[in-house]
Copies of this chain bind each other. A is one copy, B any other.
Amino acid sequence: MEPSTNVLDLNLLRRSCSSCALNELCLPAGIGGDDLTRLDGTVKDKRTLERGGVLYRDGDPFKALYVVRSGSLKTFVQNEAGDTQILGFHLPGEIIGFDALASNRHASQAEALERSSICELPYAQLQQVTSEVPALHRQLMRVISREVVEEHRHLVMMGRQQAQEQLAIFLKSLADRYERLQRDGAALTLTMSRYDIANYLGLVVETVSRLFSRMEEMGVLEVNRKAVRILRPDLLADLCRNGHPTGSRRNDAG
């Protein structure tokens, strides 16, 4: 995140949905001006979280859906024993909190990875508006569906046998998301820790660390702590398919 972004945020915070830079990515996509104004009225408040700040916890009553406006968050579940599984990393324009719709309680925790600002969409009001604006209803469904598709990508990534493939796919998909945000997809800022990345992929830290080193040696990346530059997108794309050049056995379900 460039320092300039933080400065701009102050202005962004004062804007409404209709003028939000994210409105193509966020809920309102494809909704007309009049309806947009009504949606804007339901956005309760636009709060900020510091790094490590918790947006909601597992078990919290469901009050709202949340749109990441700037910064980034992680969502994760934890079992009784404290074992954690990270479910996702969330960039601006992404909506989180859907898991609470099922039971009216959140089934995961959301935590800021850096100073982030969030739009809160109180569900009661959202429901009111969606019932009045059918287009918004359809749009909301579409957004949840996107969430489902996104999780499929996570599953595909985790299903890979080679750790290097997994990390390559992770970086590639992060780059893709950057570009959708009009950011430079080659210059990634990994706001999450190496532990987070490892957990997200089902690996241990040491493996992730070694893979970054290896990919740097191969000339694919330039790694500088949290700053990762993709030097050879073509090679990275290759790694997404093959852990190493030689064709490898796949586990194609019968």
Interface window among A36-44, A77-85, A222-230? A77-85
Expressed in whole angstroms, the minimum distance between the Cβ of A23 and any Cβ of chain B is: 18
Measured CB to CB, the nearest residue on chain B to A146 is: B102
CB under 8 Å from chain B, chain A span 202-244 = 202-205, 241
- Asked if A159 and B199 sit within 8 Å, CB to CB, the answer is yes
How many interface residues does A have (CB within 8 Å)? 60
Q: Does A99 make an interface contact (CB < 8 A)?
A: yes
Expressed in whole angstroms, the minimum distance between the Cβ of A230 and any Cβ of chain B is: 21
Q: Does A171 make an interface contact (CB < 8 A)?
A: no
Give the oligomeric copy count.
2
Expressed in whole angstroms, the minimum distance between the Cβ of A63 and any Cβ of chain B is: 15
Q: Does A250 make an interface contact (CB < 8 A)?
A: yes
Q: Mark A127-139, 1 if CB is under 8 A from B, else 0.
A: 1001100100110
| From A100, A101, A130, A195, residue with most partner B Cβ within 10 Å | A101
Interface window among A2-10, A11-19, A147-155, A175-183? A147-155
Cross-chain pairs A/B with CB under 8 angstroms, 5 sampled: A81-B250, A84-B250, A85-B156, A102-B142, A108-B152
